[in-house]
Amino acid sequence: MTSHSSSETVLMCAALLVALGAMASAAGPGVTVSEFGATPEGTPVEQYVLTNANGLSATIMTYGATLTHLLVPDRDGNLGDIVLGFDSLDGYLAGHPYFGSTVGRYANRIAGGKFTLDGGEYTLAQNNGPNSLHGGRKGYDKVVWQAKIVRRAAGPAAEFTYFSPDGEEGYPGNLSVRVVFTLTNKDELKIEYWARTDKPTPVNLTNHAYFNLAGAENRGILGHRLMLDADRYTPVDDTLIPTGEIAPVAGTALDFSRLKRIGKDIKQAGGDPVGYDHNFVLNSKGRSLSLAARAEEAGSGRVLEMYTTEPGVQFYSGNFLDGSLTGKGGAIYEQYHGFCLEAQHFPDTPNQPGFPSVILDPGRVYRQTTVYRFLTKPPRRGAQ
Ligand code: GLA
């Protein structure tokens, strides 16, 4: 046995304590659950932190089954939080444009807040000009979900469930919704959705995360390059309701069939405020889990790939952000600070007989799977 002087022993003990402290603060792979405040009605809100074997982590809170943090490495292995959001629950409660929210019962717009189904006429909240947006005044983004840890071979996972009663926000039928978030050890955030109803009802569920691959505290997203595997899109009127037409993107600002800088043609994208806020018709047609999008940020080397079973994706470039919201770490969210890739069925489908149906019938199960995969790439040759 080697003998140590007393000063050596003190130093070794100190080093051991520092090492133990580091182990305690850096959570290993798995799921941790903690309190994240309470709603004004006093309902407690919890957050679930999923950490995978490579140290990536995703945090989802029970208010709105909201993705609040997503830490992924840059090309040098430094973790950065790549989704917009707030440091505390108060930021979310004060009102926000669906940062990381689970959106339902119907993501995107329904014209005039009205639709007919089996001869019945249904009236929804007009919470976006004349239209109903993202489930109405109190959609699934503003309710507290039940949650628990679930076991998945692919990596740490948590399940969020919500019971949406018949008539809630004007929609017919009791709807039971289940969403499982898994942060796989292959560095994918997999979001799986299920729903069952007792009356026919439209269902369109999505996640509304705003990504900024440079890190959410950084400059805007116009320098990111984006590819969308979509040759067509659904043109809209000036209230963002589809005209019913399905048009080619070729020759328009909406052509992202090859990687293109988001900012390159944005001034020609139309809209007020100007920018992308369009439903792209995926070439996969939603037949299987397929690549829908790829985004790259040259500075960090971060790359995001999105796969989905849905037939459409709303590419939204954060046009309505205007600097009035201060997010995590004091970042001011100016226009184009983050972008969304919302997997979905097409907007206003309940009023568009030509679009793939969104009606869920009793006895059937609604299913949706979307995977966001994270990787990095080396700098381009010649780049500093
Ligand atoms: C969706 C819509 C946008 C906007 C955002 C939230 O992406 O398509 O028009 O409403 O949600 O601000």
For the segment 110-147, what is each residue's pLDDT rounded down to a tens digit?
Answer: 999 999 999 999 999 999 999 999 999 999 999 999 99
The Å distance, Cα 154 to ligand 1 centre, comes to: 32
Please tell me the distance from the alpha carbon of residue 368 to that of residue 177, in angstroms, as a whole number: 11
Mean pLDDT of the region 365-378: 97
- Predicted confidence at residue 243, as pLDDT, reads 98
Based on DSSP, count helices (H) and strands (E) in the chain, helices before strands: 2, 27
- One-letter amino acid of 326: T
| Catalytic (active site) residue 121 | no
Please give the angle made by the CA atoms of 230, 342 and 59, to the nearest 5 degrees. 140
- Token digits for 290? 């397929």
Cβ neighbours for 341, distance < 8 A, ≥ 6 positions apart: 211, 292, 293, 295, 306, 313, 314, 315
- Structure token pair of residue 232: 């067509």
Quickly state the pLDDT bin for 22 (edges 50, 70, 90).
very low
List all residues whose CB is within 6 A of at least one atom of ligand 1.
97-98, 108, 133, 240, 277, 314, 316, 320, 340, 342
Q: Which of 208, 224, 278, 337 is catalytic?
A: 208
Q: Residue ranges of the alpha helices (H) in the chain?
A: 6-25, 89-93
Q: Residue 6: which pLDDT band, with cuts at 50, 70 and 90?
A: low
CA of 33 to the centre of ligand 1 (A): 30
Which one of 110, 132, 134 would you pick to mutate in the ligand 1 pocket, going by the greatest count of ligand atoms within 8 A of its CB? 134
Model pTM? Answer: 0.92
Q: What is residue 347's predicted lDDT score, i.e. its pLDDT?
A: 98
Q: What is the pLDDT of residues 152-205, one digit of tens each?
A: 999 999 999 999 999 999 999 999 999 999 999 999 999 999 999 999 999 999
Backbone angles phi, psi at 14, to 5 degrees: -65, -45
Q: Which pLDDT score, from 0 to 100, does residue 382 have?
A: 64
Supply the residue whose CA is at minimum distance from atom 9 of ligand 1. 277
Q: Which tens digit of pLDDT belongs to each residue from 27-69?
A: 689 999 999 999 999 999 999 999 999 999 999 999 999 999 9
Q: How far is the CA of 270 from the centre of ligand 1 (A)?
A: 15
Q: How confident is the model at residue 19 (pLDDT cuts 50, 70, 90)?
A: very low
CA of 322 from ligand 1 middle (Å) equals 13
User: Is 208 among the residues known to form the active site?
Assistant: yes
pLDDT of residue 268: 98
